Structure 1
Amino acid sequence: MNTQKSKYLIEAKNVKKYFPIKKGLLNRTIGHVKAVDDVSFGIQEGETFGLVGESGCGKSTLGRVILQLQKATEGEVLYKDQNLVQMSNSELRKIRPEMQIIFQDPFGSLNPRFLVRDIIGEPLKVHTKMTKDEIDDRVIELMQMVGLDPSTRVRYPHEFSGGQRQRIGIARAIALNPKFILADEAVSALDVSVQSQVLNLLMKLQKELGLTILFIAHGLHVVRHISDRVGVMYLGKMVEIAPSDDVFQHPLHPYTAALLSANPVPNPHVKRERIVLTGDVPSPANPPTGCRFHPRCPFATERCKMEEPKLVEVEPGRQVACHYPLLDQNIHQGS
């Protein structure tokens, strides 16, 4: 029996999430949408792992499978070496306080009929035996931690701005002192000026509370600001994993390079060569054979059309799923 402890706080192993396509009077399954298809990666304790990709690539579905908000079709999700997929609802309930989520919509995720003190205090009522006064004291403390005036705790969500509402959501997420937080497009609905404030808040809380964060976004500039490592997804597959600076300075996968080329540079004197991808994103219900990116890849060969590349380590700490990664000259000489 292997008793070796994993180096990751949370780890996905060969995770798949398929949604059935049903049709006809008998409601028969005629196919599947392969939202997440054989994805493996891990997040170390205290790390922020950024997950990026185009809309519909499966990144939010993967995040929800990791939290067991949706059940995996196949694969394992390990938290402290415990397989969450095999746990019963009662077993998961004991772990829930340690794993929380910050939702994308800062308004839709808050009950409009609840006062802010009830929204933030709800996890404390459900998972602790704190008294009403103790909960109120904790709510005051949490609101101060996220930069909100505690006197506003008797207001309703609609009385706050978008950025303030997201701070309420963050306060609710950290109320139980979790170890792991899923931030699912947590700043995408906010103005750019507010985004930086919320990102700085998350970084501050991570340092103070020792949080481990899975940060999902489609804006690469946002991910670079907060992430230690970055994973890039395309059509349900992980195509590249690397330290954040390495991804932005020298992407190895053609898809990552194309995403970066579309990212605006805040300097009018710097010109970046734009990589324009041709064709549409294929359907996850009928993905291409071989490499899923090959219909849009400027470097695709017959091998790419027939043989699916595996996610392999090509440099220490860098993984890429590509037959022809964009390696530099030194790596070519050493290979």
Structure 2
Amino acid sequence: MVNLEKTALELIESPPKPPVLVRVKNAKKYFKLKKGIFTKNQQYVKAVDKVSFEIFKGETFGLVGESGSGKSTLGRVVIGLHEADEGEIYFEENEITALNKREFQKVRKEMQIIFQDPSGSLNPRMKVQELISEPFDVYTKMTKKEKEEKVSILLEKVGLGVEKKLSYPHELSGGQRQRVCIARAIALNPKFILADEAVSALDVSVQAQVINLLKDLQKELGLTYLFIAHGLNVVRYISDRVGVMYLGQLVEVAETEELFDHPLHPYSAALLSTNPVADPKKRKDKIVLQGEIPSPANPPAGCRFHTRCPIAQEICKTKVPDLVEVQEGRQVACHFPLLTNSKEETE
């Protein structure tokens, strides 16, 4: 018998989800390897292999995993910097993978990127004024005066003084250069921003300042982020939900605190066990994985993690686990998810 009182209470406590801004369906991106002397067949690096997930409007979706897991490649596929070999990418329910170059240009200004290295993404021969004005030159017909006024507003918005608009990148600190990159990313009022290791090249104190700036801009401008990073504490602080990648595939997706407190995939548990925690009561024993991460050019059959998994069984060696919802809002690709660690089981 349905408990109407409980059902009504759950509806009050669980507000409806916001609309989906970005939807990825079975995305694949392979890169050809050069043939060697003893190599007859063409080999590929399977950087992204049948990945599906959604990003809701106004949220920050974090993406974590070891180096070489395919995080950055997936992010660049999402915003069109890499063309997907297979699969579909939807932005506001419009399939952008089906658009030609001219049609995609109209969508492109709605999707921007902040790169890891601000020095590498800023032309050293251009002043800040010119760097931030570049998007206006491509997408608008603003006058010189209008562009100057807009640049001044953007500099103030990202916490830089107007006097910095006449500076060259080498005259700025790393944090200031990244703020210029952020100003340029928000110049056209985009709806979606890919932050690809956007703070990993900065000092810890500067990281905190930039992360807080990104959070403030998200509230003020209604931005949606795909946030890719190695720093787990940074991801935990900024993200609403997190996806865990391993060898080109998503192995778990969950709300941030649920994932960090109760990982369901053995790889997630091992990855998070290495994360330093200030509170001694919340520290977990470090899980040491055996062996090296396999080559993405020749991933293992079945579950790709089975060669390093401490609980792998025979089925894991042959059958690929699907990414399925095992609890509300929680997806995991594992034949034997760690459900006994979940909040639902322990209560």
Q: Which whole-Å deviations, capped at 9, do the CAs of 1:206-252 have from their partners, x for residues lacking one?
A: 00000011000111111000000000000000000000110011111
The one-letter amino acid paired with 2:75 is G
Q: Does 1:161 align with 2:188?
A: no
Distance 2:240 2:281 in 1: 29
Secondary structure at the counterpart of residue 42 of structure 2: strand
Q: Quick one: which of 197, 212, 218 aligns to 1:200?
A: 212
Distance 1:16 1:226 in 2: 27
Q: 1:272 to 1:149 in 2, by over 3 A?
A: same
Segments of 4+ moved more than 3 angstroms = 267-271, 329-333
Deviation at 1:272, TM superposition (A): 2.5
- Given that 1:21 and 1:29 are in contact with CA atoms closer than 8 Å, whether structure 2 keeps it comes out as no
Q: Quick one: which of 145, 169, 184 aligns to 1:172?
A: 184
What's 1:61 paired with?
73
What's 1:213 paired with?
225
Deviation at 1:300, TM superposition (A): 0.5
Q: Quick one: which of 214, 221, 235 aligns to 1:223?
A: 235
Moved more, 266-275 or 189-198: 266-275
The one-letter amino acid paired with 1:19 is F
Secondary structure at the counterpart of residue 20 of structure 2: coil
Q: Which whole-Å deviations, capped at 9, do the CAs of 1:42-83 have from their partners, x for residues lacking one?
A: 101101100111111001000001111110010000011111
Deviation at 1:29, TM superposition (A): 5.8
Q: How does 1:261-300 map to 2 (within 5 A)?
A: 261-267=273-279, 271-300=283-312
Percent identity of equivalent pairs? 63
Q: 1:174 to 1:19 in 2, by over 3 A?
A: same
Distance 1:62 1:194 in 2: 27
Q: Quick one: which of 132, 154, 158 aligns to 1:146?
A: 158
Secondary structure at the counterpart of residue 90 of structure 1: helix
Secondary structure at the counterpart of residue 75 of structure 1: strand
Secondary structure at the counterpart of residue 44 of structure 2: strand
Structure 2 unpaired stretches of 5+: 1-17
Deviation at 1:331, TM superposition (A): 5.6
Deviation at 1:153, TM superposition (A): 0.5
- Given that 2:174 and 2:202 are in contact with CA atoms closer than 8 Å, whether structure 1 keeps it comes out as yes
Secondary structure at the counterpart of residue 108 of structure 1: helix
Secondary structure at the counterpart of residue 107 of structure 1: helix
Q: How does 1:25-174 map to 2 (within 5 A)?
A: 30-174=42-186
- Given that 1:20 and 1:29 are in contact with CA atoms closer than 8 Å, whether structure 2 keeps it comes out as no
Distance 1:141 1:181 in 2: 19
Deviation at 1:269, TM superposition (A): 7.3
Distance 1:214 1:24 in 2: 37
The one-letter amino acid paired with 1:206 is Q
Q: Does 1:316 align with 2:328?
A: yes
Distance 2:206 2:338 in 1: 35
Distance 1:234 1:136 in 2: 45
Give the structure-2-normalised TM-score: 0.91
Distance 2:308 2:199 in 1: 29
Matched length = 328
Secondary structure at the counterpart of residue 288 of structure 2: coil
Distance 2:339 2:259 in 1: 12
The CA RMSD over aligned residues, in Å, is 1.9
- Given that 2:27 and 2:89 are in contact with CA atoms closer than 8 Å, whether structure 1 keeps it comes out as yes
- Given that 2:35 and 2:43 are in contact with CA atoms closer than 8 Å, whether structure 1 keeps it comes out as no
Q: Does 1:185 align with 2:197?
A: yes
Distance 1:237 1:100 in 2: 24
Structure 1 unpaired stretches of 5+: 1-5
Deviation at 1:28, TM superposition (A): 7.6
The one-letter amino acid paired with 1:220 is L
Q: Which whole-Å deviations, capped at 9, do the CAs of 1:18-60 have from their partners, x for residues lacking one?
A: 11123169x9861111000000001011011001111110010
Give the structure-1-normalised TM-score: 0.94
The one-letter amino acid paired with 1:262 is T
Distance 1:151 1:332 in 2: 57
Distance 1:154 1:332 in 2: 59
- Given that 1:18 and 1:36 are in contact with CA atoms closer than 8 Å, whether structure 2 keeps it comes out as yes
Q: Which whole-Å deviations, capped at 9, do the CAs of 1:69-105 have from their partners, x for residues lacking one?
A: 1100100000111111111110011111111000010
- Given that 1:22 and 1:28 are in contact with CA atoms closer than 8 Å, whether structure 2 keeps it comes out as no
Q: 1:146 to 1:229 in 2, by over 3 A?
A: same
Deviation at 1:322, TM superposition (A): 0.5
Q: Which whole-Å deviations, capped at 9, do the CAs of 1:140-167 have from their partners, x for residues lacking one?
A: 0000000001111101000011111000
Q: Which whole-Å deviations, capped at 9, do the CAs of 1:104-152 have from their partners, x for residues lacking one?
A: 1011110000000100111011101110000000000000000001111
